[in-house]
């Protein structure tokens, strides 16, 4: 097969269908009609002499050949993007790019207000989409070019992902201004008598606080488990429940807090990106901007 007889745009279609598992979604991302994507898939099938995708109730399932070639296809597409962007000048004030982040509600509440303020000042035409993906989803989304950056706890060793530390935050116990515990020093015994809100994106399992208590053969009284720090804040303001949160969040939300009476490993947040974006001018600009945000120094 001669390369000059292959439409390289078909590789972009292959990658998008593989990622979305749905022709309609792929067409939307590619800004094409569904018949056009179906036609491109037909041409791909003839070129590679394989079905590539089988239509199933759960979507377009890749064939073994698709699974075998997708990594090399993505590497080729990323290499071509690098070649095209090497001499490209990124001008933030003229750009209309949409950046996609993965981060928790804590990171969103801490970072997005100041980041959007900087965008309005430096890059008024650009926008942000922020949501949370699991670590496995983060890697695949970055590899597919659907995610620019992630802000999360340090990732496991992965030679495809790069990261820099953003924040190392100690924990404090927050409560409302009327809580009687505010008037005294918080001891471990008093902490265990309090009623707690536990914040976790997972439906079950221990967090940093409970793991630290477990090492002391202790357990706290969890009266409410929620997935969102902002919901916890509202509950705390209207009740005698308390929560253990990163100090940056306590300061950012202007909540009264007390030091912890036992040792808890600090919360670490890292800025993570795929190695394919290492030299991308837009990604470099955004990484530098995020790293310079003043809110990242709140806990210091």
pLDDT, position 90: 85
Reply yes or no on whether the pLDDT at 49 is more than 60: yes
Cα 62 to Cα 14: distance, rounded to the nearest angstrom: 10
pLDDT, position 227: 86
pLDDT, position 200: 86
% residues pLDDT > 70 (the chain): 94
Number of domains into which the chain is organized: 3
pLDDT, position 128: 96
Residues 148 and 278 reside in one and the same domain: yes
pLDDT, position 172: 96
Domain that holds residue 194: 171-265
pLDDT of 56-82, one tens digit each? 998 999 999 999 999 889 888 887 877
Residues 47 and 157 reside in one and the same domain: no
pLDDT, position 151: 94
pLDDT, position 300: 55
Residues 207 and 237 reside in one and the same domain: yes
pLDDT of 173-182, one tens digit each? 999 999 999 9
Q: Is residue 69 within 8 Å of 18, Cβ to Cβ?
A: no
Residues 13 and 79 reside in one and the same domain: yes
Residues 261 and 281 reside in one and the same domain: no
pLDDT, position 85: 64
pLDDT, position 2: 58
Pairing mode, strands 149-152 and 98-103: parallel
Choosing from 50, 85, 120, the residue where a domain stops is: 85
pLDDT of 70-118, one tens digit each? 988 988 888 787 766 655 678 999 999 999 999 988 899 889 999 999 9
Reply yes or no on whether the pLDDT at 219 is more than 80: yes
Please, what is the average pLDDT of the chain?
A: 89
Reply yes or no on whether the pLDDT at 249 is more than 70: yes
Task: For residue 293, give the CATH number of its domain.
Answer: 3.40.190.10
Task: For residue 14, give the CATH number of its domain.
Answer: 1.10.10.10
Residues 211 and 78 reside in one and the same domain: no
Is residue 45 very low, low, confident or very high in pLDDT (cuts 50, 70, 90)? very high
pLDDT, position 4: 58
Residues 75 and 143 reside in one and the same domain: no
pLDDT, position 229: 85
Strand order in the sheet with 127-131: 127-131, 98-103, 149-152, 267-274, 161-169
Residues 146 and 278 reside in one and the same domain: yes
Instruction: List the single range of 130-139, 188-197, 201-210, 220-229 with lowest mean pLDDT.
Output: 201-210
Choosing from 55, 85, 115, the residue where a domain stops is: 85
% residues pLDDT > 90 (the chain): 61
pLDDT of 145-203, one tens digit each? 889 999 998 866 777 889 999 999 999 999 999 999 998 899 999 999 999 999 987 77
Reply yes or no on whether the pLDDT at 205 is more than 80: no
Choosing from 62, 85, 108, the residue where a domain stops is: 85
Residues 145 and 282 reside in one and the same domain: yes
Instruction: List the single range of 50-54, 216-220, 276-280, 294-298 with lowest mean pLDDT.
Output: 294-298
Residues 203 and 141 reside in one and the same domain: no
The dihedral built from the CA positions of residue 195, 196, 197 and 200, taken in this order, carries a sign that is negative
Tell me the two tokens of residue 11. 């590789």
Residues 152 and 273 reside in one and the same domain: yes
If you average pLDDT over residues 6-24, what whole number do you get? 89
The dihedral built from the CA positions of residue 131, 136, 137 and 139, taken in this order, carries a sign that is positive
Residues 72 and 52 reside in one and the same domain: yes
Q: HEC states along the chain?
A: CCHHHCCCHHHHHHHHHHHHCCHHHHHHHHCCCHHHHHHHHHHHHHHHCCCCEEEECCEEEECHHHHHHHHHHHHHHHHHHHHHHCCCCCCHHHCCCEEEEEECHHHHHHHHHHHHHHHHHHCCCCEEEEECCCHHHHHHHHHCCCCCEEEECCCCCCCCEEEEEEEEECEEEECCCCCHHHHCCCCHHHHHHCEEEEECCCCCCCCHHHHHHHHCCCCCEEEEEECCHHHHHHHHHCCCCEEEEEHHHHHHCCCCEEECCCCCCCEEEEEEEEHHHCCCHHHHHHHHHHHCCHHHHCCC
Reply yes or no on whether the pLDDT at 28 is more than 70: yes
């Amino acid at each position: 097969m001669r390369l000059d007889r292959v439409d390289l745009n078909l590789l972009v279609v292959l990658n998008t269908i593989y990622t979305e598992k749905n022709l309609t979604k792929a067409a939307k991302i590619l800004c094409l009609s569904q018949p056009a994507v179906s036609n491109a898939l037909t041409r791909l099938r003839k070129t590679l002499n394989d079905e590539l995708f089988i239509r199933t109730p759960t979507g377009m399932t890749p064939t073994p050949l698709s699974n075998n070639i997708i990594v090399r296809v993505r590497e080729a597409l990323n290499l071509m993007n690098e070649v095209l962007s090497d001499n490209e000048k990124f001008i933030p004030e003229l750009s209309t790019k949409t950046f996609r982040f993965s981060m928790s509600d804590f990171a969103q509440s801490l970072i997005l207000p100041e980041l959007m303020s900087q965008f309005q000042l430096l890059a008024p035409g650009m926008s942000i989409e922020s949501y949370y993906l699991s670590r496995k989803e983060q890697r695949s989304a970055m590899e597919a070019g659907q995610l620019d950056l992630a802000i999360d706890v340090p990732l496991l060793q992965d030679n495809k992902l790069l990261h820099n530390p953003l924040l190392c935050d100690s924990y404090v116990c927050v409560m409302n201004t009327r809580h009687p515990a505010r008037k005294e020093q918080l001891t471990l015994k008093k902490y265990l008598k309090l009623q707690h809100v536990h914040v976790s994106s997972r439906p079950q399992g221990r967090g940093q606080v409970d793991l630290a208590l477990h090492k002391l053969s202790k357990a706290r009284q969890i009266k409410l488990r929620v997935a969102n720090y902002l919901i916890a804040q509202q509950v705390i303001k209207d009740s005698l429940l308390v929560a253990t949160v990163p100090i940056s969040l306590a300061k950012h939300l202007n909540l009264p807090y007390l030091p912890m009476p036992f040792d808890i490993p600090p919360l670490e947040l890292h800025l993570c990106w795929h190695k394919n974006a290492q030299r991308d001018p837009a990604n470099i600009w955004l990484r530098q901007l995020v790293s310079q945000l003043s809110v990242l120094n709140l806990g210091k």
